[in-house]
Amino acid sequence: MVRCYKALSNPPPSCYNLRKVKIHVRRLRSGNGGSSSCAGDQHPQLESPGPAGSAGGTPNRRTRFRLQFPQLALRRRLGQLSCMSRPALKLRSWPLTILYYLLPFGALKPLTRVGWRPMSRVALYKSVPTRLLSRAWGRLNQVELPTWLRKPVYSLYIWTFGVNMKEAAVEDLHHYRNLSEFFRRKLKPQARPVCCLHSVISPSDGKILNFGQVKNCEVEQVKGVTYSLESFLGPRTSTEELHFSQTPPGNSFQQQLVTKEGNELYHCVIYLAPGDYHCFHSPTDWRVSHRRHFPGSLMSVNPGVARWIKELFCHNERVVLTGDWKHGFFSLTAVGATNVGSIRIYFDQDLHTNSPCYSKGSYNDFSFISNNNKEGIPMRKGEHLGEFNLGSTIVLIFEAPKDFKFHLKAGQKIRFGEALGSL
């Protein structure tokens, strides 16, 4: 039998009573004939609470429990939250959601029984102001450190991320005035020999997340997690349409990028950890004709986060360089990440990343082909191309013949100048 007692003292009908709801549950014992009047009643009855020994004696702990919870008060508060605007609702529910995931033993799970639903982990992470944090981190990196403090700070960073300072052009830690200069340190010329036998080399140090042939207009950021090729590169420009004029308009976006019959589209994703060499170079001999800048989020591109958030690279800020090489279409994309709002391209002085104000889903185009320069920007294999301020990701998408083969393994470490693949 279930007995419910609501302590209501004739409240006005327009208000909620904020007192607690007491629910008493007592199991019916089989063979008990003393309660014949209630044997056929299948519904709970509202009764006044009697003493502990009434109604057949005091049940033990296994047959009775008492639940006290301010359900009416919670329902009222949740009803107020549902009437708020979306930004205000996100602001009010954000701290409670953090506690929901952090507190052990499901301490806040009873809230879900009265109608409250926590934000998903992905939505919670996306609501973090990563652009603001990245700009603050960039300002901190520009602060000049005292001479006596440089060696302890840089030594801690070297120990944490496993940096090899023997490869640096300047090994003296006192030479770097701030963290930004230390991140963008140059290497000795002989530290990274460029492979001349293969057509495509690694543009940077890092870890191979994924590589292979593009299929169904989708590219894998990590194994099993894909993103749209058109969302990542953006729509074609008027300059590119001149190259694709022979392609039928009904074909897919992937087929429109392939300029030569018998070729296929390939991709390679390289993740730069915080301890890696932060500059990136030209992976082959090619011409850069167009730059497209996508302002966006600055979420972490760590492989664990990349498995967690679908189309992560399409959400993050990125700079897409497109052009052509001897086999057709070629593109290199520098993807920003948390604390890596600054992406620099050496030959593009007009590029400014991580601006305070931007329109979501917008992009900025710049063409390097003009009346005075109809060839674009020629780049040689291994030539300096740009740099990050911390770790990030490089994505190569290019056209090549069907017999092109990668000389890689997923998850392997690679250094700038080493071979990615060849014909």
Positions annotated as catalytic residues are: 205, 281, 392
Q: How are strands ordered across the β-sheet holding 45-46? A: 45-46, 2-6, 21-26, 64-69
What are all long-range contacts of 37-46, with beta carbons under 8 Å and residues at least 24 apart?
38/1, 41/1, 44/1, 44/2, 44/3, 44/4, 45/1, 45/2, 45/3, 46/3, 46/4, 46/5, 46/6
| β partners of residue 66 | 24
What is the C-alpha to C-alpha distance for residues 397 and 200, in angstroms, rounded to an integer? 12
Q: Output the six-digit token pair for 288.
A: 């850069």
What is the C-alpha to C-alpha distance for residues 318 and 292, in angstroms, rounded to an integer? 8
Q: Output the six-digit token pair for 26.
A: 């007592």
Instruction: Name which of 80, 72, 122 is nearest 97 in CA terms.
Output: 122
| Amino acid letter for position 355 | S
Instruction: Name which of 339, 357, 299, 313 is nearest 123 in CA terms.
Output: 299
Q: Output the six-digit token pair for 28.
A: 């019916």
Specify the DSSP class assigned to residue 39: T
**Helix, strand, or coil here: 179?**
helix
